[in-house]
């Protein structure tokens, strides 16, 4: 006799468990996933079983706050994450406003049927750099010049404290790129061109952000989720073209570009962001072999894999085909970041047509939920009693100053011009970049591209010099060489370098200084006074022909807000220890100039990898 359940019984079941028919459990109010004594893995698996396909797809969507038509759409579409892209800030850019905004979004998410909290991600890549008043640390190239993992870990901790104070718990950092060609606009986001240095410092920054041991440490209220990016070989493209193609042998890929990810995974990094770039003609966002096969399979990465900003749109085909490619390649969460309505509709049809399997959706959503449970977001969706004074705090400024002075590389010091005496020295500071906080901070500062001028709070190089000397009236600042003759001085400090840029806007085919900067140096040298050049740049610049016009040369990279660290070196309060994290090319013609290549042809380098003088 077939076991026919009476119809009335089925009716009751459907009434009690309306979603039961969709292969999901019924009443989530008593779900085991709410039991914080269970492991994140168990909780994620249990919660997944309650979710409808629409709820699952919503979790895979990451949307920039600026594209939300209404905060209520977070609940309407069950969005899994919100981000602030570069410069995407609340109208009032204060820590309090950031916290209020993020908490508001979180409350929308908590109001949904399952109350799954959102992740909120941001590029805190050299401090909490979207937030006005946050301490801006040296960009990674400067940290590479320090070669100091212990310092870098302390910086990670400090940045985490500033990020948490604004209610945020996820940074898209560290960038563990290994730039091989300084023509690339993102060279400064790399610690250096040696994969071992990048691996060491990347792991240190991850420990700083996430605490140890991860993933257990992620649940602490003072830690944030880190992101190793951009997977993989973003810094290996031909000609240093941003989002270009890296022509690599398997050996080069593993020895140079994959190496930092091995250490990042060992350090327990919680998320990985895929690169826009390609390898041997295959877009990384379509590269299932490297994402699923190597990152997941070989390296055993069990965290969250996210796409980069609208990266799926760079793939061929319809929206559905682009999304199917990225999701089936192994990306769990899509940084859409705008059309979330279109995303949800497209992925739903992909699942209905079987182009993306329910199994793949479940895998992706499991990783997303696992990350949220590991972060403790279900117990503490909103950061309670934060300390807003952490943002821009004096201890963090002191730490950044320490990082600045340890990042400075002394490349020339003829006649022992440096260190300068604080007493009685008439100092002429030349060039408008000497008094420009935006220049010191570079890209990814308050806005995506960064910009010149007083973009936030901090100390310019000129201000630092004036603070350091006994009598500030002996320090004169002129912006143009034509003003030189009017000033009596004992030494000239010329500040030259780059104006802010980010990503592809920094790609250059010519790395020589601007004509204006070159003329400042030449006119300064024609005075017959000792000339100290301070070069503010995100990479080595071609200065070969100007070297004889300077008595001393400091490479200070993109030091950030704490210009005092440069004065510490100029006046000998700190003897320089920085070492070049890149080979310094003699000309454009020798690029790309790797460590290995310069070993065979030392004449191609103006200064070798690891070079740096002291007092
Ligand atoms: C950008 C960058 C990536 C950043 C993301 C979000 O295009 O490639 O490094 O994390 O978008 O701002």
Reduced to 3 states (helix: H, G, I; strand: E, B; else coil), residue 426 is coil
End-to-end distance of the chain based on CA atoms, in angstroms? 96
Q: What is the average pLDDT across 388-397?
A: 98
Ligand 1 atom closest to 123 (CA): 10
Name the strand (E) or helix (H) holding 413. Answer: strand 409-413
36-380 has CATH 3.30.465.10 classification = no
| Percent of the chain whose pLDDT exceeds 70 | 96
pLDDT of residue 8: 60
Q: What is the average pLDDT across 512-537?
A: 98
Angle at 532 between CA 527 and CA 535, to 5 degrees: 125
Q: What is the average pLDDT across 338-361?
A: 98
Compute the distance from residue 229 Cα to the ligand 1 centre, in Å.
9
The question of whether 338 is a catalytic residue gets the answer: no
pLDDT of residue 1: 39
- Residue nearest atom 6 of ligand 1, based on CA coordinates: 85
Decide whether any atom of ligand 1 lies within 6 Å of the 244 Cβ: no
Choosing from 307, 308, 444, 506 the residue with most ligand 1 atoms within 8 A of its CB, the one to mutate for a pocket test is: 308
| 592 within 8 A of 244, measured Cβ to Cβ | no
pLDDT > 50? residue 532: yes
CATH topology of 36-380 equal to that of 394-607?
A: no
pLDDT > 70? residue 16: no
| 134 within 8 A of 86, measured Cβ to Cβ | no
Choosing from 64, 82, 83, 86 the residue with most ligand 1 atoms within 8 A of its CB, the one to mutate for a pocket test is: 86
Q: How many residues does the chain have?
A: 615
> Where do the structural domains in the chain lie, given as residue ranges?
36-380, 394-607
Decide whether any atom of ligand 1 lies within 6 Å of the 308 Cβ: yes
Long-range residue pairs from 512-516, CB within 8 A, at least 24 positions apart, any chain:
512/541, 512/542, 512/543, 512/588, 513/541, 513/542, 513/543, 513/546
Q: Measure the CA–CA gap between 423 and 540, rounded to whole angstroms.
A: 33
Decide whether any atom of ligand 1 lies within 6 Å of the 444 Cβ: no
pLDDT of residue 25: 77
Q: What is the average pLDDT across 194-217?
A: 98
Angle at 313 between CA 309 and CA 319, to 5 degrees: 130
Which residue is it, tokens 């020295």? 425
pLDDT of residue 6: 56
Band (21; pLDDT cuts 50, 70, 90): very low
Least confident of 211-215, 381-385, 444-448, 489-493: 381-385
Band (2; pLDDT cuts 50, 70, 90): very low
Band (26; pLDDT cuts 50, 70, 90): confident
17 vs 44 pLDDT, higher one: 44
Compute the distance from residue 85 Cα to the ligand 1 centre, in Å.
7
pLDDT > 70? residue 18: no
CATH of the structural domain 394-607, one choice from 3.30.70.60, 3.40.50.1700, 3.40.50.2300, 3.30.390.10:
3.40.50.1700
Q: Measure the CA–CA gap between 128 and 136, rounded to whole angstroms.
A: 7
Count CB-CB contacts under 10 A for residue 266: 13
Count CB-CB contacts under 10 A for residue 109: 25
Which residue is it, tokens 């990384």? 284
CA-nearest of 313, 294, 306, 298 to 364 is: 306
pTM: 0.96
Q: Measure the CA–CA gap between 61 and 307, rounded to whole angstroms.
A: 10
pLDDT > 70? residue 453: yes
């Amino acid at each position: 006799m077939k076991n026919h359940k009476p119809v009335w019984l089925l009716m009751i079941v459907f009434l009690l468990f309306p979603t039961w028919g969709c292969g999901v459990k019924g009443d989530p109010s008593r779900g085991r996933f709410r039991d914080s004594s269970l492991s994140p893995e168990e909780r994620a698996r249990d919660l997944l079983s309650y979710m409808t396909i629409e709820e699952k797809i919503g979790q895979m969507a990451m949307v920039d706050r600026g594209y939300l038509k209404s905060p209520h759409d977070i609940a309407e579409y069950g969005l899994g994450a919100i981000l602030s892209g570069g410069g995407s800030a609340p109208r009032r850019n204060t820590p309090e406003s950031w916290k209020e905004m993020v908490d508001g979004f979180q409350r929308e998410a908590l109001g949904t049927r399952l109350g799954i909290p959102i992740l909120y991600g941001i590029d805190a890549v050299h401090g909490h750099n979207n937030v006005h008043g946050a301490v801006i640390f040296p960009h990674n190239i400067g940290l590479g010049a320090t070669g100091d993992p212990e310092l870098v870990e302390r910086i990670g901790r400090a940045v985490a404290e500033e990020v948490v104070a604004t209610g945020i718990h996820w940074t898209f950092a560290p960038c563990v790129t290994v730039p091989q060609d300084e023509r690339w606009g993102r060279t400064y986001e790399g610690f250096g061109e040696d994969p071992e240095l990048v691996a060491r410092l990347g792991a240190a920054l991850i420990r700083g952000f996430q605490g140890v041991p991860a993933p257990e440490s992620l649940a602490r209220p003072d830690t944030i989720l880190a992101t190793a990016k951009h997977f993989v070989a973003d810094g290996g493209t031909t000609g240093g073209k941003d989002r270009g193609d890296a022509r690599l042998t398997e050996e080069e890929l593993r020895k140079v570009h994959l190496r930092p990810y091995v250490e990042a995974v060992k350090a327990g990094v919680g998320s990985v962001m895929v690169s826009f770039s390609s390898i041997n003609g295959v877009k990384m966002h379509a590269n299932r072999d490297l994402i699923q096969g190597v990152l997941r399979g070989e390296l055993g990465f069990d965290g969250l894999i996210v796409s980069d900003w609208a990266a799926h749109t760079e793939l061929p085909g319809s929206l559905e085909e682009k999304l199917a490619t990225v999701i089936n390649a192994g990306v769990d969460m899509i940084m859409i970041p705008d059309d979330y309505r279109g995303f949800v509709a497209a992925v739903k049809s992909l699942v209905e047509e079987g182009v993306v399997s329910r199994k793949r959706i479940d895998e992706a959503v499991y990783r997303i939920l696992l990350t949220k449970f590991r972060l403790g977001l279900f117990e503490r969706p909103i950061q309670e009693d934060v300390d807003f004074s952490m943002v821009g705090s004096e201890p963090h400024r002191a730490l950044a100053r320490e990082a600045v002075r340890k990042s400075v590389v002394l490349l020339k010091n003829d006649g022992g011009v440096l260190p300068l005496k604080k007493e009685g020295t008439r100092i002429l500071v030349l060039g408008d970049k000497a008094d420009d906080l935006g220049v010191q901070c570079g890209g990814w500062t308050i806005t995506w591209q960064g910009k010149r001028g007083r973009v936030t709070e901090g100390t310019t190089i000129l201000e630092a010099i004036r603070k350091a000397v006994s009598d500030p009236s002996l320090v004169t600042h002129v912006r143009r060489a034509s003003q030189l003759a009017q000033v009596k001085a004992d030494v000239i400090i010329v500040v030259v370098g780059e104006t802010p840029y980010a990503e592809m806007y920094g790609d250059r085919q010519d790395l020589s200084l601007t004509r204006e900067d070159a003329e400042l140096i030449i006119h300064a040298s024609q005075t017959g006074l000792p000339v100290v050049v301070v070069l503010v740049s995100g990479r080595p610049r071609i200065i070969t022909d100007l070297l004889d016009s300077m008595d001393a040369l400091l490479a200070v990279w993109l030091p950030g807000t704490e210009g005092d660290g440069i004065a510490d070196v100029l006046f000998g309060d700190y003897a320089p220890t920085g070492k070049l994290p890149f080979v310094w090319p003699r000309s454009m013609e020798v690029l790309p100039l790797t460590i290995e290549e310069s070993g065979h042809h030392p004449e191609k380098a103006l200064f070798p990898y690891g070079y740096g003088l002291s007092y």
